[in-house]
Amino acid sequence: MPDPLPLPRPLVLGSTSRYRRELLSRLRLPFEVAAPEVDETPLPGEVPAALAARLALAKARAVARRFPAAVVIGSDQVADLHGEPLGKPGGHDQAVAQLRRMRGQTVVFQTALAVVCQATGFEAHDIAPVRVRLRDLDDAEIERYLRAEQPYDCAGSAKSEGLGIALLDAIDSDDPTALVGLPLIRTCRLLRAAGIAVP
């Protein structure tokens, strides 16, 4: 009699982001969600890509310590305006200030991903940079947009998957969901490497 097939490892998304939860659900894999509880303060002189990569790995490791048998996904996104990190605005006035600084500029959204499994010792990470060129928005456009969509929980103060697409001139990416918060092409690649069958 052949040995029974091993049960697949549980999958945990180490994030409280509703955007990442929705994106991961597209893969039709059962998963749990756990808050990573990681300090997201940038280190002195830390560039945006390094900050995003460090935080994605820290989130995955923090959750993996609580779920050692699971394959854990951590992710983080930092908007990079000429080397300066821009985080989530948190409120209207901060979002207005961000969009005023970004208008007419190219911003690189550094979306980092990490996959960790303590039980197997698996650890891998990747980053998906997305270049976004904003239109030269006037103050009235910024105000109308923010009042309509209130994207105060999004790095860069806009949702490309919603009305925020009207603020943009161009998006350049090799992983189309990266701008929303989780690069699914890279996620599939790392999950397969960790032993999860996708699809």
The catalytic residue positions are 76
Cα(148)–Cα(161) distance, integer angstroms: 14
Cα(185)–Cα(166) distance, integer angstroms: 25
57 in the Ramachandran plot: left (φ > 0), alpha (ψ -120 to 50) or beta? alpha
Contacts of 111 (CB under 8 A, 6+ apart): 52, 75, 76, 77, 127, 128, 129, 130, 175, 178, 179, 181, 182, 183
Cα(109)–Cα(130) distance, integer angstroms: 5
- Cis peptide preceding 199, ω within 30 of 0: yes
